[in-house]
Structure 1
Amino acid sequence: MIAYVGDFGLARFLSDVPQTSLVGVKGSTGYIALEYAMGAKASTQGDVYSYGILLLEMIPGKGPTDDMFKDNLSLRHFAKLSLPKRVMDIVDPVLLEEAKVSQGSGNHTNTRKRMHACLISMVRIGVLCSANSPRDRMEMKDVVTEMHAIKDLYLGVRIHQDEQVMSQLSGEDPSYLSYY
């Protein structure tokens, strides 16, 4: 659970730098937006891409350059294939164990449902943020709003809305999948 990334905010520093090659763009392999390889100028959408990859990395505990990601399988594609029914199959067991410890005693069935819904939503956000095309990526303001909602759901802040939200996020209402 240690992030090795320092790409966020590149657009702010590099937006006025003429970009004719990747020499001006610095970042961690696997976290750099794909359009930079084609000479695109640094942008906030590139930062969104990096954030999406970081978010996806946290779920399975595997980075974008992990040995398992080869032969046209990327971290993004791996995560996207898990949506929505197989998300729990890709979650790092350490993450699940830490969640059990932090939740303590209580209604384990409801807690597990909330955790499942939150993980689905987080993977969905990571997939949307790391879309190949910058115009298909989420806006960061929407990411922040959704991440706060996920936190509230996980902590049980909005209990009266939990059942409806969990139904939508768990795949019983697949309308949210139309985003990608």
Structure 2
Amino acid sequence: MNLLKIITSCSSIDFQGNPFKALVYEFMPNGSLHDWLHSSGNTSRLNLLQMIKILMDVAYALDYIHNHCLPTIIHGDLKPSNILLDNDMVAHVGDFGLARFLGTSYQNNSTGIRGTCNTPCF
């Protein structure tokens, strides 16, 4: 599926008495695609085969959430920092904070499908 797995969640109060909420994700030792694309060292470069494999992994994840989930999920914030790479450089899509469900009556306090990029992210 190439989706980032949530291991557990936590809801507590921090040391200042403020509410604290966290999601604990599966560890991705190779960091984000953003880190690989914008690294300054020559040792952290992706070759063409790795880039194609990452693109295919992301495409599989999007195909799954768009065509095989009920209801259909629109990610809404797909960008290199939300694509994490495991030990074998397999890409996993994460951060569904702006995701929307199509075909449901679920409503939230925002309007339309939004993301953090300037062009359509889905």
TM-score normalized by structure 2? 0.27
TM-score normalized by structure 1? 0.20
Q: Is the helix fraction higher in 1 or 2? A: 1
The structure, 1 or 2, with the larger RCO (C-alpha pairs under 8 Å, 6+ apart) is 2
Q: Could you say which structure has the larger radius of gyration?
A: 1
